[in-house]
Structure 1
């Protein structure tokens, strides 16, 4: 069942890559900052050469670390030696789980087909009520549902075809995560009728958040969850006062 909102009820907030506006993305420091304000923090999972799930958005190291080349060609020990920004290091998914458990909800995006079993093994002990596993790959969502039946899943998309919602339902997704420019009241209404939670990405301004909330989005991903939390809290207070 979707998480309904009202006109006076703020959306839940997902700290995108922790809080990438405030600290190097997908690092433990970004997660610490994000957890202070967000309902969930989100990370991206890939496999090292020795099959360990690590937290990295890109397939290559060049943009976010002082390394270069494909993540999958490096051993975990080699990845750990890299600087992921401001002296931070690439965390393993297990380190993220250990940090977040009991403190915040967690979104994990599966970036690579074929990594589902390894990623789910790490996530198997996490509270399913606090966990979403999401992906652009519909087959990954289907596999996760088989491996971790109690965990909620989400289908991410940046294009909206006529069969998008049907596809999400067919792989037993619990949520859709549309790119923000695809978000419409019609999409939200259709998704809710199908029992799907709607979580657009990435919202970083007050106007974006207010527009999404007012047409019924259940949550949103933001690079700056603390700023977003403050905006939604202040807006809610103002609306309650005006009512």
Structure 2
């Protein structure tokens, strides 16, 4: 299994900030970031379409240039990082899970990530067409389709995209899903795990990736003597 720090380590520091990412990189195998494009087409790390919730600015990310965007405080006194900033931050032992939040941003994202070791990267999205585009642009990079709701056949859209993994929300995650995913050659990366009860459920399922807001907390749980007797 591998640990993914959700938006870096948003339980400890403001999400998607440099401090959250550095914290996540201490304990996670990958840090997850959300990407949107500025008005001038630069990929920046921002979950929401607007600046209002996570910065001291307001308005749409897509209506501001990078220079304008970087005037705002995203938390801990840091500006909103770009995708390139995060790539430059990476430690050798920590990879990046990049979530594409907007259709049409695939080329801008892939033009940056193409410079890096594909084994240290995942690209994921809720949008099947975004994953299909990524597979054309960066065929060696692992991809995943995010699922947040129940559906009759959660694997049909994943197989359609050619993705390598399915990413179910914890409330839709089941042992049967893991079994079937592995039968079809897919990895399972489940989100977002923040309690010992959730950890234990996933530990016993054989899921491949665990997404958490507190990667150091999850790492400590995995490494605890009580868990050493469990095959994780």
| Alpha-carbon offset, residue 85 of structure 1 | 1.2
- Inter-partner Cα distance in structure 2 for 1:89 and 1:210: 37
1:79 maps to what in 2?
69
Q: 1:217 aligns with which of 169, 192, 207?
A: 207
Q: Does 1:167 align with 2:157?
A: yes
1:122 maps to what in 2?
112
Equivalences for residues 167-186 of structure 1 within 5 A: 167-186=157-176
Q: Does 1:153 align with 2:127?
A: no
> What stretches of structure 1 of length at least 5 have no aligned partner?
1-10
- Inter-partner Cα distance in structure 1 for 2:84 and 2:230: 41
1:66 maps to what in 2?
56
2:8 maps to what in 1?
18
| Alpha-carbon offset, residue 102 of structure 1 | 2.4
Say which SS state the counterpart of residue 36 (structure 1) adopts: helix
Q: Normalised by the size of structure 2, how large is the TM-score?
A: 0.96
Higher RCO (CA 8 Å, separation ≥ 6 residues): 1
2:178 maps to what in 1?
188
Alpha-carbon RMSD across the aligned residues, in angstroms, is: 1.1
Q: 1:142 aligns with which of 120, 132, 145?
A: 132
2:26 maps to what in 1?
36
1:101 and 1:126 in contact (8 A); partners too: no
Greater alpha carbon shift after TM alignment, 48-57 vs 85-94: 85-94
Say which SS state the counterpart of residue 44 (structure 1) adopts: strand
Q: Does 1:97 align with 2:87?
A: yes
| Alpha-carbon offset, residue 163 of structure 1 | 2.8
Q: Does 1:236 align with 2:227?
A: yes
2:19 and 2:76 in contact (8 A); partners too: no
- Inter-partner Cα distance in structure 2 for 1:138 and 1:213: 28
| Alpha-carbon offset, residue 206 of structure 1 | 1.2
2:122 maps to what in 1?
132
Q: 1:227 aligns with which of 217, 223, 227?
A: 217
| Alpha-carbon offset, residue 162 of structure 1 | 2.0
